[in-house]
A and B are shown apart, each in its own frame.
Chain A
Amino acid sequence: MSGRLKIHVDQEKCQGHARCKSLAPELFELDEFGNAHEIGDGTVPKGLEDKAWLAQTNCPEIAIEVTEE
C-alpha cells in the first residue's frame, strides 16, 4: 500500500512547542534551544508510521513534512 515514510522538521517554521517530542520521542529530538529535529535521517522505523502522522497533525506551526519514499 505504501512505502517507507520519512519525516523532516522545517527549521524556519518550528517554534519549539515540542508536541512532536511528547507524542513521538522515538522520531524527534530537541536541540539546546528547544527546537525540534527529526532523529537521524528522518526515516520512520516500521511500526511507528502512526506516530509520525500524529506528530504532524499536532504540530501547531505546520512545520513537519511527512513524505513517502
Chain B
Amino acid sequence: MSDQAPVIDWVHDFDHTDPRWTENPFPIWDELRAKNPVVHTERFLGCYLPTTYEAVKQISYDTEHFSSRRVVVRTARPEPPVGSPPITSDPPEHKPAKQLLLPPFTPDAMKKLEPRVRAICNELIDEFIAEGKCDAAARYSKHIPVRAIAHMLGIPEKDGELFINWIHDILELGIKDDRILMQAVQEMSAYFAGQIEQRKKHPTEDLISTLMNARDKNGQPLSDAHVLGTLRLLLIAGIDTTWSAIGASLWHLAKTPADRKTPDRRARAAADRDRGILARLFAGDDGARGHEGDRDQRLPGQTRQHGAVVVSCRQPRPRRVSRRR
C-alpha cells in the first residue's frame, strides 16, 4: 500500500518504494537506461537516479560535488543529517573511519565467529524442521544477523526484537514519517549510550569496546558521537543488508534448482560454479545508496539542481579491457 500516486511514467516519475520496483527492479532499470543515463522524479522532494555503470561511477567518485552525508532518500530532509560514520563520511574522514572497522570483519575474523553463527542457524532450523516447511525470510533469514551482530557487539541476543523494530522504523516507515524515524534513532542512541556507560566501568572485549578504545589518525579517542553513529550503522547495516542478502539468496536457490545441487568442492569445475553462484548472490546484495549534491553540477542528460539527492543503484559494467596508459 502506498500513499503516493501510482507510477505511470517510470522515466519521469520513478518511485523506488513502489511495490513493482521492490519486487523486480531490473526491467524498470532496463527501460530507464534505454532512455537516459540519469533520470529524475519529483517525488521525495526531487531526486535523480543514474542508470548506467559510467554515471554511477562518475557520481560515486565525484566526492567534491556529491556528499554521502545523507544516504537514505526520504520525504523529509532534517538538518543536520544524522551521522553514522563511515557510511555518511566524505573524504578525507571516510577512509580512516572505515579502516577502523575492517579488522573485526576480515575473513579470518569471520572464521572465529563461524561456530556461533552455525549454532544460531541450527537453533533456528530446529524450531521449524519438524514442520517440513517454513517462511524462510520470517523464521530464518531475519534472525541470523540479528543474533550474530548482537554477539559481535556484546549485547544480549534476546534484545533482537528491539533491533528488528528499530530497523523497520528507520529504513521502512521512517522513509515517509520523520517522527517515527527520529523516535527510533533516539531510542537506539539511548540504548547504545547505556552500553557505552557500562563499558566505561566494566570494559569488555566486544566490538563496542573495540570502538571505544580505537584512536583516530591523530591518535585521539573517537568522540562519543562517532562511536554512537558507528554503532547505529553496524546494527542497521549489519542486520538489514544481511537479512536481505540471506533471504534473497534462499529465494534464488528456491527458484533455481540447478544452483541447488551440492557442489563437489574438490572438483575444479564445481568450485567454479560455486563461485558463479556466489557472484550472483553478491549482486543481490548491492542496494541503493544516496548522495547529496553540494552545488550545481551537470549530470549526463540532465540540468542539475542544487542540493537534490541522487540515488545510486549498482548497474552492470560493460565488460571490456581497460587500455594500459
Interface, chain A (partner B; CB < 8 A): 2, 5, 13, 15-16, 18-19, 21-24, 30, 32-35, 50-51, 53-54, 56-58, 60, 62, 65-69
B residues in contact with A57, CB < 8 Å: 279, 317, 319
Interface, chain B (partner A; CB < 8 A): 57, 60-61, 95, 98-99, 102-103, 105-107, 272, 275-276, 278-279, 282-283, 286, 314, 317, 319, 321-324
Q: How far is the CA of A51 from the CA of B105 in the complex (A)?
A: 23
Q: Which residue of A lies closest to B106 (CB)?
A: A34
> Is A60 a contact of B314 with CB atoms below 8 Å?
yes
> Is B319 a contact of A62 with CB atoms below 8 Å?
no
A residues in contact with B321, CB < 8 Å: 2, 5, 66-68
> Is A69 a contact of B324 with CB atoms below 8 Å?
yes
Q: How far is the CA of A54 from the CA of B273 in the complex (A)?
A: 12
Indicate which residue in B95, B105, B283 contacts A58 across the interface (CB closer than 8 Å).
Answer: B283
Indicate which residue in B57, B103, B278, B286 contacts A34 across the interface (CB closer than 8 Å).
Answer: B103
Tell me the dominant secondary structure on chain B's binding face.
helix
A residues in contact with B106, CB < 8 Å: 16, 18, 30, 34
Tell me the dominant secondary structure on chain A's binding face.
mixed
Indicate which residue in A18, A32, A58, A62 contacts B107 across the interface (CB closer than 8 Å).
Answer: A18
Q: How far is the CA of A34 from the CA of B174 in the complex (A)?
A: 33
A residues in contact with B286, CB < 8 Å: 60
